[in-house]
Structure 1
Amino acid sequence: MVTLQQIAFHAGCSLATVSRALKGEGPVSDEMVRRVRRAAAELGYRPPFSAGANARNRPVVGVLVPSVTNPVFAASLGGIQHRMQAAGHGVLIAQSNYDPASEARAVAALLEQRPTGLILTLCNAETSEALSAALPPTILLNNRPVPRFPAAVTVDNHRAGREITRHILTHGHRRILFVSGHFASSDRARLRYEGYCAAMDEAGHAPLPAMEIPFVDGYEQLDLSGVMEGFQPTAVVASNDLLALGVVGALRREGLSVPNDVSVAGFDGIAIGRLMSPSLTTMAMPDGDMGVAAAAMLLDIAENALQCRHLCLDHRLYSGGTVRMAA
Structure 2
Amino acid sequence: MVSTISDIAKIAGVAKSTVSRYLNGGSVGEATKKKIQLAIEETGYSPNPFAQSLKAKKTNIIGTIVPRLDSYAASQTLIGIDEQLKEVNCQMLISNTSQKLEREIESIYSFAKQKMAGIILMATEITELHIQAFDAVKIPVLLIGQEHKDFPSLVHDDFHAAYEMGKYIFGKGHRKIAYLGVTERDIAVGIKRKQGFQKALQDKEECEIRFYETEFNIPAAQITAQTIINEFHPSIIVCATDNIALGVLKAAYLMGLSIPKDLSVTGFGGYEITEVIHPGLTTAKFFYREAGKKAAETIVDLINEKQMDRLTISQFEIIERESVDNLL
TM-score interval for Structure 1 and Structure 2 normalised by the shorter chain: 0.7 to 0.9
> How far did 1:304 drift?
4.3
**What secondary structure does 1:153 align onto?**
strand
Task: State the distance in 2 between where 1:311 and 1:289 align.
Answer: 12
Q: Counterparts of 1:63-102 in structure 2 under 5 Å?
A: 63-102=64-103
> How far did 1:309 drift?
3.0
2:146 to 137, 143, 147: 143
Q: Does 1:260 align with 2:256?
A: no
> How far did 1:254 drift?
1.5
User: How many pairs align?
Assistant: 274
Task: State the distance in 2 between where 1:207 and 1:67 align.
Answer: 35
> How far did 1:208 drift?
3.7
Aligned residue for 2:50?
54
Q: Counterparts of 1:105-144 in structure 2 under 5 Å?
A: 105-125=106-126, 127=127, 129-133=129-133, 134-135=136-137, 136-144=139-147
Q: Does 1:195 align with 2:196?
A: yes
Contact 1:119–1:141 (8 Å) recurs in 2: yes
Give TM-score scaled by structure 1 length: 0.77
| Aligned AA (1:129) | L
User: By percentage of residues, which structure has more helix?
Assistant: 2
> How far did 1:71 drift?
0.9
| Aligned AA (1:147) | K
C-alpha distance after superposition, 1:40-73 (max 9, x if no partner):
xxxxxxxxxxx99913535211112222111111
CA pair 132-52 structure 1, distance change in 2 beyond 3 A: farther
Q: Counterparts of 1:162-173 in structure 2 under 5 Å?
A: 162-173=163-174
Q: Does 1:182 align with 2:178?
A: no
Please say which of residues 231-240 and 300-309 is displaced more in the overlay: 300-309
| RMSD of aligned residue pairs (Cα, Å) | 2.3
Task: State the distance in 2 between where 1:221 and 1:239 align.
Answer: 14
| Aligned AA (2:149) | P
Task: State the distance in 2 between where 1:74 and 1:177 align.
Answer: 29
Unaligned runs of at least 5 residues, structure 2: 1-46, 54-58
**What secondary structure does 2:99 align onto?**
coil
Task: State the distance in 1 between where 2:218 and 2:179 align.
Answer: 19
| Aligned AA (1:137) | P
> How far did 1:301 drift?
1.4
Contact 2:242–2:268 (8 Å) recurs in 1: yes
> How far did 1:85 drift?
1.5
| Aligned AA (2:142) | I
CA pair 164-217 structure 1, distance change in 2 beyond 3 A: closer
CA pair 74-291 structure 1, distance change in 2 beyond 3 A: same
**What secondary structure does 1:184 align onto?**
coil
**What secondary structure does 2:51 align onto?**
coil
Contact 1:268–1:283 (8 Å) recurs in 2: yes
Q: Does 1:296 align with 2:267?
A: no
Task: State the distance in 2 between where 1:55 and 1:123 align.
Answer: 31
> How far did 1:114 drift?
1.7
| Aligned AA (1:261) | D
Contact 2:225–2:247 (8 Å) recurs in 1: no
Aligned residue for 1:30?
none
| Aligned AA (1:157) | D
Contact 1:53–1:113 (8 Å) recurs in 2: no
Contact 2:175–2:208 (8 Å) recurs in 1: no
| Aligned AA (2:150) | R
Task: State the distance in 1 between where 2:231 and 2:98 align.
Answer: 31
Contact 1:98–1:185 (8 Å) recurs in 2: no
Give TM-score scaled by structure 2 length: 0.76
Identity of paired residues, percent? 23
Task: State the distance in 1 between where 2:182 and 2:219 align.
Answer: 8
Task: State the distance in 2 between where 1:265 and 1:193 align.
Answer: 14
Task: State the distance in 1 between where 2:320 and 2:305 align.
Answer: 42
Task: State the distance in 2 between where 1:281 and 1:217 align.
Answer: 17
Q: Counterparts of 1:140-289 in structure 2 under 5 Å?
A: 140-144=143-147, 146-149=148-151, 151-185=152-186, 187-204=188-205, 208-216=209-217, 218-219=219-220, 221-289=222-290
Task: State the distance in 1 between where 2:97 and 2:212 align.
Answer: 22
Task: State the distance in 1 between where 2:162 and 2:256 align.
Answer: 28
Contact 2:160–2:196 (8 Å) recurs in 1: yes
**What secondary structure does 1:88 align onto?**
coil
| Aligned AA (2:129) | E
Task: State the distance in 2 between where 1:114 and 1:62 align.
Answer: 9
Aligned residue for 1:315?
316
